[in-house]
Amino acid sequence: MSQEIIIVGAGFAGSECAWACASRGVPVTLYEMRPVKMTPAHQTGHFSELVCSNSFKSQDPDTPAGQLKTEMTALGSLVIPTGQKHSVPGGSALAVDRENYAAEVTKTLEDHPLITVKREEFTPEMAQAHLANGGQLAICTGPLTTDPLSQWLADLTGRKHLYFYDAVSPTVEADSLDMDIIFAQSRYDKGGGDDYLNCPFNKEEYDAFVEALVAAEQVPLKGFEKAIYFEGCKPIEEIARKGHDSLRFGNFKPVGLTDPRTDRRPWAALQLRPENREKTLYSLVACQNRLKWGVQKEVLQMVPGLRDAEFVRLGVIHRNTYIEAPKALTPWLEFRDHPGLFVAGQLTGVEGYVESAAMGIYVGITLARRAQGLEPAVPSRPSAYGSLVSHLQDETERDFAPMNINWGLFPDPPDAPRKKDERRQKKLDAARVAFQSWKDQLT
Ligand SMILES: Cc1cc2nc3c(=O)[nH]c(=O)nc-3n(C[C@H](O)[C@H](O)[C@H](O)COP(=O)(O)OP(=O)(O)OC[C@H]3O[C@@H](n4cnc5c(N)ncnc54)[C@H](O)[C@@H]3O)c2cc1C
């Protein structure tokens, strides 16, 4: 039986995963195919390359991204302190010098005596052989995973649980909705009663919305993203361009709904569906779009009831690869049906450099514990880690999609104050206590 731990992909998650194992005294082999074979987005052979923006988001400790960084640093992160060492001015965000940052991460990992680096493409055959031999394997190959490995993951997950693109509808915080306008009702009162919330349009509101929508600027598709439109993921702005009423007869159809303010069917209705069990987040149903983010928010705030909506995620349609984690993975990110096979990073259904790195540390800790004969330790729910893992485990009926860390993922404390700032402070207080108790379990 093999004791070897293989980590595939030295991006954000794989770099942290290898580091977490090695710094706990557990040797690993790290496969990275670049520069031998490049992805369509990476430019260098460096580990942990930033493929686009150079921002690790807020470093204010009193924000969700700041709390996550604090937790990662306390767990021994490589990426966060190296980013801080190579920071460039970025306001409250941690912006990094991408070249020097990635060069240092690469050198640190390559120089570690417990990390063996192999610069080659990892294939399904290699994975199968390693698992058959009893080895542990962490796939950290990210949104641009090679085709053979993606196909293998799709087969393992039963295909319908692996996605090759994001067609993400925006998500809003529940307590930013105007409930004097929005009403709760499932279409024809079927199923879960008040599971759906409805934003009712009158004719004038609908006309103005469609006009703004079709005029708004879209994000251009990259060359490798050209073929990603499948059934059911056409952007709403393109549907609206087909005809002024096409949304009203399609994604925003009002049939089966009665606005309690008028006792009549609205002209059109945008539905909101809970995004988590606690109903702190709602996604805008069938509202996938490719509008640029600034203008997207402006347009969506024209929807009745969303004027002051806080968006934790805006709509995107882009190339991505991720597993439907709530259906396929354990809370410690091992395939339920394939012991020894883990995933980390964006493949799990988190979004962003920092969140992906965070999941790499988490899987690295679990692999190291297993090598030492210890059970996985799952983070306590209120921590930033617990909040991300909860997103990956929540089996609420929804279109599962990658998510950044945000306030809506943190659970409301039992005696949540009505004021937003106070409520957020309580969430942070609870996160800090919960994280500490989890960390104590790990040592
Ligand atoms: C075009 C684009 C732009 C993005 N812009 C941003 C942004 O601005 N900000 C942000 O926070 N996030 C952005 N993201 C998301 C970002 O890629 C992820 O958040 C982050 O890089 C994911 O980390 P990861 O470790 O999961 O994957 P990656 O960092 O992509 O690492 C995966 C690694 O696996 C390697 N690999 C793949 N297949 C194999 C194989 N078969 N064998 C060996 N190695 C393999 C790759 O070469 C790569 O090094 C963007 C993604 C894309 C595609």
Q: Is the pLDDT of residue 348 over 70?
A: yes
pLDDT band at 229 (very low <50, low <70, confident <90, very high): low
CA distance 316 to 166: 7
145 touches ligand 1 (CB under 6 Å):
yes
Q: What is the pLDDT of residues 248-272, one digit of tens each?
A: 999 999 999 999 999 999 999 999 9
43 touches ligand 1 (CB under 6 Å):
no
Q: CATH number of 5-167+318-442: 3.20.20.70, 3.90.700.10, 3.50.50.60, 1.10.8.350?
A: 3.50.50.60
Q: Is the pLDDT of residue 245 over 60?
A: yes
Least Cα distance to 289 among 252, 339, 333, 257 occurs for: 252
53 touches ligand 1 (CB under 6 Å):
yes
- Run of H or E residues at 208: helix 203-215
Could you tell me the distance, in angstroms and rounded to a whole number, from the CA of residue 55 to the centre of ligand 1? 14
- The Cβ of residue 33 has, within 10 Å, a number of other Cβ atoms equal to 21
- The Cβ of residue 245 has, within 10 Å, a number of other Cβ atoms equal to 14
Q: Considering only 154-163, 313-322, 409-418, which range has the smallest mean pLDDT? A: 154-163
Phi-psi region of 414 (alpha: psi -120 to 50; beta: other; left: phi over 0): alpha
Residue 231 pLDDT: 47
147 touches ligand 1 (CB under 6 Å):
no
Q: How many residues does the chain have?
A: 443
Q: Where are the domains of the chain?
A: 5-167+318-442, 171-314
pLDDT band at 240 (very low <50, low <70, confident <90, very high): very high
Query: What one-character-per-residue DSSP string does 109-158 give?
Result: HHH-TTEEEE-S---HHHHHHHHHTT-EEEE---TT--HHHHHHHHHHTT
Q: Considering only 96-105, 183-192, 350-359, which range has the smallest mean pLDDT? A: 183-192
CA distance 287 to 297: 12
Residue 190 pLDDT: 72
pLDDT band at 1 (very low <50, low <70, confident <90, very high): low
pLDDT averaged over every residue in the chain: 93
Residue 120 Cα: closest atom of ligand 1: 43
- For a pocket test of ligand 1, which of 16, 46, 52, 55 has the largest count of ligand atoms closer than 8 A to its C-beta? 52
Tokens of 149: 């490995």
Could you tell me the distance, in angstroms and rounded to a whole number, from the CA of residue 49 to the centre of ligand 1? 8
Q: Is the pLDDT of residue 410 over 70?
A: yes
pLDDT band at 7 (very low <50, low <70, confident <90, very high): very high
Return the percent helix, strand and coil in the chain, to nearest 5: 35, 15, 45
Could you tell me the distance, in angstroms and rounded to a whole number, from the CA of residue 337 to the centre of ligand 1? 25
Residue 344 Cα: closest atom of ligand 1: 26
Tokens of 319: 């190339």
Average pLDDT over residues 343-366: 97
Residue 417 pLDDT: 86
Average pLDDT over residues 389-409: 91
65 touches ligand 1 (CB under 6 Å):
no
Percent of the chain residues past pLDDT 90, beyond the cut: 80
162-168 vs 171-173, strand pairing mode:
unpaired
Residue 191 pLDDT: 62
Residue 12 Cα: closest atom of ligand 1: 25
Could you tell me the distance, in angstroms and rounded to a whole number, from the CA of residue 443 to the centre of ligand 1? 30
141 touches ligand 1 (CB under 6 Å):
yes
Residue 319 Cα: closest atom of ligand 1: 53
- The Cβ of residue 299 has, within 10 Å, a number of other Cβ atoms equal to 21
349 touches ligand 1 (CB under 6 Å):
no
Could you tell me the distance, in angstroms and rounded to a whole number, from the CA of residue 168 to the centre of ligand 1? 18
144 touches ligand 1 (CB under 6 Å):
yes
Cβ-contact 186, 192 below 8 angstroms:
yes
Could you tell me the distance, in angstroms and rounded to a whole number, from the CA of residue 143 to the centre of ligand 1? 5
Q: What is the pLDDT of residues 293-311, one digit of tens each?
A: 899 999 999 999 999 999 9
Q: Which CATH class is domain 171-314?
A: mainly beta
230 versus 124: the higher-pLDDT residue is 124
pLDDT band at 164 (very low <50, low <70, confident <90, very high): confident
Average pLDDT over residues 99-115: 97
Could you tell me the distance, in angstroms and rounded to a whole number, from the CA of residue 246 to the centre of ligand 1? 36
Residue 115 pLDDT: 98
Could you tell me the distance, in angstroms and rounded to a whole number, from the CA of residue 357 to the centre of ligand 1? 10
Q: Is the pLDDT of residue 161 over 80?
A: no
Could you tell me the distance, in angstroms and rounded to a whole number, from the CA of residue 48 to the centre of ligand 1? 8
pLDDT band at 69 (very low <50, low <70, confident <90, very high): very high
CA distance 144 to 128: 21
Task: Output the CA torsion 231→235→241→246 (10° steps).
Answer: 60
> Global pTM?
0.88
140 touches ligand 1 (CB under 6 Å):
yes
Burial class (CB in 10 A: 0-12, 13-18, 19+), 279: middle
